[in-house]
């Protein structure tokens, strides 16, 4: 066990017994949704993982300790703290641990701590990616580089629709990260079920995903995988509505000089306001949908590992 890592007793027992565990990020709690929906959603996602046969491990840094599996009180603290809670990616982890701080983990940081704990499946909403205008700003999420180096399968509704989806796929291809479309042939665009971008690889059940995971790491290919799981049709938003809201949010971010870590929370907040709260409702449903699939994948993978 890594000396800087603590496991919740439930998570530790599941890992020791070889039972399926699903990692969950905490940035969505502090930075992705307002109070109290953030707490309600975090608890609902954990319940969904349990209902489908796996143990949830919400990940964060608590008092300078990397933590895989949180108590309800710890989740509530992150939710009430909101954006005042530090947002931790790869570059921030060592500082937060060294200084004894508490912080919510992004996709990248969650993957790192999950891998330290021996957790191979992670459910989130959408991964980060190449931001629009990155040719000038060089704004590329650390999530992509983490996927290229850390052996964790990330179940998501594609990349966040506020990003440049085409360049995000190109980056993942360059770095050898498989992007598996779960029962789909085009990349899901977070709030909408598809985009203009075709995927080269499709899988139709959790067992097939687990087999790809096993082969990927048995071959010594250290990268993670993206499992792109479209939002359920009944909760998807019209593409034209989302395109208009995103365009306006991007323009406002540029006018206000929003940069760095503040960009994604700002854009998601503005898109939610511009859609009258519809995007938040869809966001919650897609995360629950990803938790269900991740639990199935974790169970299938646990059955393969000797």
Angle at 207 between CA 206 and CA 212, to 5 degrees: 100
CB 213 within 8 A of CB 207: no
Token pair of 162 as six digits:
């506020």
Nearest CA to 291 among 112, 124, 129, 131?
Answer: 124
Name, in order, each residue with C-beta under 8 angstroms of 2's C-beta and a sequence gap of 6 or more.
66, 116
Helices (H), the chain: 9-17, 27, 37-51, 72-81, 90-98, 107-117, 134-137, 142-147, 165-174, 206-218, 239-256, 263-274, 278-304
CB 96 within 8 A of CB 77: no
CB 120 within 8 A of CB 213: yes
Largest CA distance in the chain: 55
**Could you give the C-alpha distances from 255 to 137, 236, 241, in angstroms and in order?**
15, 29, 22
- Rounded Cα distance between 155 and 142, Å, is 17
Buried (b) or exposed (e) across 181-198, using 16+ Cβ within 10 A?
bbebebbbbbbbbbbebe
Residue positions annotated with a catalytic role: 25, 160
CB 35 within 8 A of CB 80: yes
Which residue shows structure tokens 């991007």? Answer: 250
CB 213 within 8 A of CB 183: no
């Amino acid at each position: 066990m890594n000396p800087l890592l603590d496991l919740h007793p439930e998570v530790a027992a599941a890992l020791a017994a070889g039972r399926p565990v699903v990692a969950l990020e905490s940035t969505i709690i502090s930075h992705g949704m307002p109070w109290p929906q953030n707490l309600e959603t975090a608890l609902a996602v954990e319940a969904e993982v349990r209902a489908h046969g796996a143990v949830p491990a919400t990940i964060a840094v608590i008092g300078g300790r990397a933590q895989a599996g949180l108590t309800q009180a710890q989740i509530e603290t992150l939710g009430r703290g909101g954006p005042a809670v530090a947002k931790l990616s790869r570059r921030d982890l060592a500082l937060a641990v060294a200084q004894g701080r508490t912080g919510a983990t992004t996709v990248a940081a969650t993957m790192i701590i999950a891998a330290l704990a021996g957790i191979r499946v992670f459910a989130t909403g959408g991964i980060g990616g190449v931001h629009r205008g990155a040719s000038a700003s060089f704004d590329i999420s650390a999530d992509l580089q983490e996927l290229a180096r850390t052996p964790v399968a990330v179940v998501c509704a594609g990349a966040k629709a506020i990003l440049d989806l085409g360049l995000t796929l190109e980056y993942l291809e360059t770095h050898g990260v498989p992007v598996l479309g779960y029962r789909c042939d085009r990349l899901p665009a977070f709030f909408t079920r598809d985009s203009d971008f075709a995927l080269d690889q499709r899988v139709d059940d959790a067992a097939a995903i687990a087999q790809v995971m096993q082969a990927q790491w048995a071959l010594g290919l250290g990268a993670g995988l993206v499992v792109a799981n479209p939002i359920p049709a009944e909760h998807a938003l019209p593409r034209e509505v989302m395109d208009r809201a995103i365009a306006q949010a991007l323009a406002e971010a540029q006018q206000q000089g929003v940069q760095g870590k503040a960009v994604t929370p700002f854009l998601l907040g503005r898109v939610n306001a511009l859609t009258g709260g519809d995007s938040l409702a869809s966001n919650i449903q897609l995360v629950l949908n990803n938790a269900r699939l991740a639990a199935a994948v974790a169970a299938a993978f646990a059955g393969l590992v000797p």
